[in-house]
Structure 1
Amino acid sequence: MRIETDDLADYFLAETLDGLYTPYALRMPAGDGPHPFVFVAYGNGGGGLEWLRDRVHRFRHVTDVLLEAGYACAWTRYRTEVELGYETGGELRTDVRQGMELMSRAPLEYEDEVAILRHVAKLPGIDGDRLFHLGVSHAGEMLFKLLSQYHGLLRAGVAAEPASHELLTLNLHDDEKVSVTDGLRDIETLEMRSVERARRAITDPDEVSRRLDGVDIPVLVLGREQDELQGIFRLTYELLAEKRADAEWRTWSHDIHGYIYPEGEPDDVQREALEVIVDFFDRHRG
């Protein structure tokens, strides 16, 4: 359902798995298509249309690059993360009671991604068999969560600086820099630069292996040399590479978390990173 249009994008609402709505802002390249599509996401959810409008305009460069390469693309918004909801909720199961749907739990933020992808795939001008995912930080981890439970949606994905604490079952309770208030962890000052330290923090390697078995597409994992969580980013790649020969890794030195989404004119590192991302999508475009 299209709800508004501005000078850059058409804004749509996709029906979520529980019958509510989540927004995305679609940009289309020149030509009739059908065009491949890139789902563009950053961080945790929330913020709604106000956040989405700001992101579309203030961080437009990434979508300009994708459009020039022939990809339809959309900045997206989804519900707020639930603390350890993926870990404790299990896979979403549905049944019928009194003629209406019943769920084993509420949908989570990565399931709003599923809803948007399914909605976009049906739009005129979109090639529903060539959908891609580009996620940074928490949205990088969301890509893996999605793939662990929902298959056949995506052609390939990029997980940039993926904050994979929950996916990898990392034990953070004993870290002096992590505090817990009312059941919510504060990991803003967490440091885990070492792959070896991150690997030692895994609490359930069999479960991590099962989750990564669900990855059914090529994934490019991007790191950032200065990042306090570079060990987690690299470990995410290494564990995936044990499963899939088509897993890829690149890392750059940059001062900004989320550097692949330039605000304003990009620098040389940002240009190179976006070229690598487009090349990765092109190689799996089919």
Structure 2
Amino acid sequence: MQSFALTAIIYYVALKLFSEKLPGSDLPVEYMLAETLDGLYAPYALRIPAGDGPHPFVLVAYGNGGGGLEWLQDRVRRFRYVTDVLTEAGYACAWTRYRTEVELGYNTGGPLLVESRQGMELMNRAPLEFEDEVAVLRDVSKNPRIDASRLFHLGVSHAAEMLFKLLSQYPGLLRAGVAAEPASHELLTLGLDEEPTVACHDGLRQLDSLNIRSVEHARARITDPDEVSARLDSVDIPVLIIGRDQDELQGIFRLNFDLLAEKRTDAEWRTWNHEIHGYIYPESNADGAPRVDETQREALASIVDFLDRH
């Protein structure tokens, strides 16, 4: 057992890029690399709480991918408050960075299949962005400071939809998850060609002006209910879905919950009135002080309570 722990520590030192201190905190940020499913590397920024481990772990993600290490460092510094809250509650956590979304890649690609050719791996498609999260989760599970049986996922917007994509194809990794403002139009097979605010250029849809505020509107856009049902059948953990009352996609958020609640009695729904998309990630000012209102505090407290209960 001691030999295994030593091997794991050496392994992690080899894949650690660097550490940096955050103002006013004794908990440094460790910038790490996780080997992706196709042999490249995805960065993540790990914070470990004080006290003896192993600690439960929360993967923290936002939006679409791309941006690399520069994006990750900016996110760690400007949106550190969520990691302060999590580490104070006893959770290790990491902001993550993954590859850019492929338009409808989840719908058209199917599950990733890996075989061998001439002694090396052969894949039926390239890994997608949610599979970089799989790589990070597998990487942190080897860390002796992390409890591999207590891994959680916290995602906002596209990253919230990514949680469900991950669960549909990689069960057994997570204990529970939080999907805040999940932009689940692909997961739910929503046909958007008739939406007046959606334009398509060279096969890439422009969804920034999509407006689906009602559940009825969202439900009417489902094109393959059997496929949606099968995807949600694969959800093997409790999920808290968080909405935003005035969001243009609130109908999609709520439909995601309603359909999941038909499958699982442990699905939970909360929604708040807030002007910022991604409000559960409060931003800090230029001096590093977080700008946090009571709604954000209440939402984050509910998230920690949900994680604690699982």
Deviations 1:115-147 (A, max 9, x none): 000000111210011000000000000000000
Q: In the alignment, which residue of structure 1 is the partner of 2:266?
A: 246
SS in 1 for 2:217: helix
Q: Which of 132, 156, 163 in structure 1 is aligned with 2:152?
A: 132
Instruction: State the alpha-carbon separation in 2 of the partners of residues 60 and 101 from structure 1.
Output: 38
- The CA RMSD measured in Å over matched residues stands at 0.5
234, 254, 276: which one aligns with 1:234: 254
In the TM superposition, residue 49 of structure 1 has moved relative to its aligned partner by: 0.4
How far has the Cα of 1:32 moved from its partner?
2.1
Q: Where in structure 2 are the equivalents of 1:149-168 lying within 5 Å?
A: 149-168=169-188
Of residues 270, 278, 282, the one that matches 2:296 is 270
Q: Alpha-carbon deviations, 1:251-285, whole Å to 9, x = none?
A: 0000000000001221000000000000000000x
Query: How many Å apart are 1:101 and its aligned residue?
Result: 0.5
Paired residue secondary structure (1:281): helix
Q: Hey, what does 1:6 align to over in structure 2?
A: 20
Detail structure 1 runs of 4+ shifted over 4 Å in the superposition.
none
Is the counterpart of residue 282 in structure 1 residue 308 in structure 2?
yes
Q: Distance in 1 between matches of 2:32 and 2:219?
A: 41
In structure 2, C-alpha distance between the alignment counterparts of 1:187 and 1:126, rounded to whole Å: 38
Q: Distance in 1 between matches of 2:195 and 2:57?
A: 40
- Pick from 60, 63, 70: which aligns with 2:90? 70
Structure 1: distance between partners of 2:307 and 2:168: 21
Question: Using the alignment, how far apart are the partners of 1:151 and 1:168 within structure 2?
Answer: 19
TM-score scaled to structure 2, two decimals?
Answer: 0.91
Match of 1:169 in 2: 189
Q: Name stretches of at least 5 consecutive residues in structure 1 with no aligned partner.
A: none
Give the aligned residue type for 1:245.
Answer: T
What residue identity is the alignment partner of 1:37? F
- Counterparts of 2:113 and 2:309 in 1: how far apart (Å)? 35
Q: What runs of 5+ residues in structure 2 fail to find an aligned partner?
A: 1-14, 22-27, 284-289
Could you tell me which residue of structure 1 aligns to residue 73 of structure 2?
Answer: 53
Computing the radius of gyration over CA atoms, which structure comes out larger, 1 or 2?
2
TM-score, normalization: structure 1? 0.99
